[in-house]
Amino acid sequence: MELSQRIKNITPSQTLAITAKSRDLKAQGVDVISLSAGEPDFNTPDEIIEKTYEALKAGQTKYTSASGITELKEAIIEKMKRDNGLDYELSEVFVGTGAKHVLYNLFQATLDPGDEVLIPTPYWVSYTEQVKLAEGNPVIMETDESTSFKITPEIIDRHVTDRTRMLLLNSPSNPSGMVYTEEELRSLAEYLEKTDIVVVADEIYETLVYDHPHISIASFSDKMKSNTLIVNGVSKSHSMTGWRIGYVCGDSDVVKGMTALSSHSTSNPATPSQWAALAAYNMDPSYLEEYNRTFKERRDKAYENLMEIPYIDCIKPEGAFYLFPNFAECARQCGFDGVDAFVEAVLEEVHVAAVPGSGFGSPDNIRLSYSLSIEDMTEALDRIRKFVEQHSK
C-alpha cells in the first residue's frame, strides 16, 4: 500500500535500529557489547515499582485528563521551582508519553507549513524528522569541535530568516555531552530576548551533569521564560525509559493545543506510568546524587580509555551519558572510506555496536554511550583500540 509523502520523507531512528540489531545478535549468541543504547543499564528503583503497584491495586487503571493527572503536574511544578527557580501554573504543564511524544506534539501544535526551526549539529535524531512531520523546515546550524559543539548568537544570526519560528537547545546534549555554561546561556539569552524566536529547551539530561550545574535558559528573564518551552521527563533521570513519561512547561496556549491533540491520539499518558513518575519525584533526592556519581565515574573511566585509541580526538563531555569522538582520521588511517564504514566493520569484526555521527548531522564522529558497566565499557573500548591498531598497520 502506498505511504504518505510525509512518511516517505522521514528516516527511521538509527539509534533504535542499531540497539535492536545488537540485541538480536546477542540473542543469537554473538558476544556483542552495545555502546548504542541511550538508556541506563539498571532497573527502575524498587520504590517506584512498589508505589506503582499500590496505585494499580487502588484502581489507577482508568483514563485520566489528556494533559496528565494533577498530582503529577503539581510535583513537576514543585520540581521546576526547586531545581530551576521557575514558577508555573497547572495550565502551563502538559504530560505526555515520553519526551519524544511531547516534542512531536509540540511541533504539531505550533508549526505551520514552512515555519523554520533552527537545529544545531550534532542533533538528537528525532528533531529533524519531527519538524518535517509537522511540515516545518529544519534549518541545520553546523557546529564542531572548534566551537565545542555549541552555538553562539553569531551562529544563530547567520541562519535567521523571516520564517524562523523556533530554536532547539539541548543541554546537556545528546550526542555531544556538552553542557552550556551560565555565561554562554546569558549571551544567547541576551540575543534571543530581542527576537520572537521560541526556544525549545530539551533538558531531559538535566540531572546528569558532572563539571558545572545545569541552568535553564528560561531562568534568565521573564521574556526568556515566556518564550521558552522546557521539555523534560523521567526516562533518563530515574532509569525509566520504558515507562514513557515526559512533559513540557511553558505557554498555556501551547499546552492547550497539545492537550487537544493528545485527546485525539493517546487520550492520556499511561495511567500507571503517571503514578510511577509521581513516585520518582517524591523519592529522596539522595537517589539522584548517587545516580550522578555512578555516571560521573563511568564518564571519567570511559574518557580515559577512549583517549588510548590512536588517531582520535574527543572533547571531554560534561553531561548526559555519551562520548562523541571524531574518528575521521582514525577511519582514514585504518583504510576505510568514511566513519560509517568504520562503524560497520567494528560491529562485524569485534562485535562492538556504536552509532555513526552521520545520523546526528556530524559524519566525522561516532556516538558511544557509557550507560553500561565500567567493565563492559572498558572491554568495548579495548576491542576498538585493538581493531584500530591492527587495521592501521
Q: Which stretch binds ligand PLP (CB under 6 A): 50-58, 95-103, 153-161, 279-287?
A: 95-103
**Pattern 196-225, ligand PLP, x by CB under 6 A:** ------x-x---------------------
Q: Least distance from C-beta 363 to ligand PLP, angstroms?
A: 19
Q: Which amino acid is at 337?
A: D
Instruction: Closer to ligand PLP by CB, 228 or 235: give it.
Output: 235
CB-side neighbour CA atoms (13 Å) of 217 = 31
Q: Is 229 in the site for ligand PLP (CB under 6 A)?
A: no
Instruction: Closer to ligand PLP by CB, 84 or 239: give it.
Output: 239
For residue 326, list its beta bridge partners: 313, 365
Q: Least distance from C-beta 213 to ligand PLP, angstroms?
A: 19
DSSP 203-272: -TTTT-BSSS----GGGG-HHHHHHEEEEEESTTTTT-GGG--EEEES-HHHHHHHHHHHHTTTSSS-HH
- Please identify the residue of the shown chain whose CB is closest to the bound ligand PLP: 98
CB-side neighbour CA atoms (13 Å) of 207 = 22
Q: Least distance from C-beta 204 to ligand PLP, angstroms?
A: 4
Pairwise CA distance, residues 353 & 19, whole Å: 8
Q: Which amino acid is at 95?
A: V
3-state secondary structure of 303: helix
Contact residue for ligand PLP among 14, 147, 219, 241 (CB under 6 A):
241
Phi-psi region of 94 (alpha: psi -120 to 50; beta: other; left: phi over 0): beta
3-state secondary structure of 95: strand
Contact criterion met (CB below 8 Å) for 207 and 36: no
Q: Is 99 in the site for ligand PLP (CB under 6 A)?
A: yes
What φ, ψ does residue 81 adopt, rounded to 5°? Answer: -70, -45
Pairwise CA distance, residues 331 & 327, whole Å: 6
Site residues for ligand PLP, window 118-177 (CB under 6 A)? Answer: 124, 170, 174
Instruction: Closer to ligand PLP by CB, 185 or 240: give it.
Output: 240
Q: Is 359 in the site for ligand PLP (CB under 6 A)?
A: no
**Pattern 35-54, ligand PLP, x by CB under 6 A:** ---x----------------
Q: Is 246 in the site for ligand PLP (CB under 6 A)?
A: yes
Q: Is 295 in the site for ligand PLP (CB under 6 A)?
A: no
Q: Which stretch binds ligand PLP (CB under 6 A): 93-101, 148-156, 180-188, 287-295?
A: 93-101
Q: Is 96 in the site for ligand PLP (CB under 6 A)?
A: no
Q: Is 266 in the site for ligand PLP (CB under 6 A)?
A: no
Give the residue from 35, 42, 44, 40 showing the smallest Cα distance to 15.
Answer: 35
Interface with ligand PLP: number of residues (CB under 6 A): 13
Contact criterion met (CB below 8 Å) for 192 and 199: yes
Tally of CB atoms within 10 A around 373? 14
- Residues in contact with ligand PLP by the rule CB under 6 A: 38, 98-100, 124, 170, 174, 202, 204, 233, 235, 241, 246
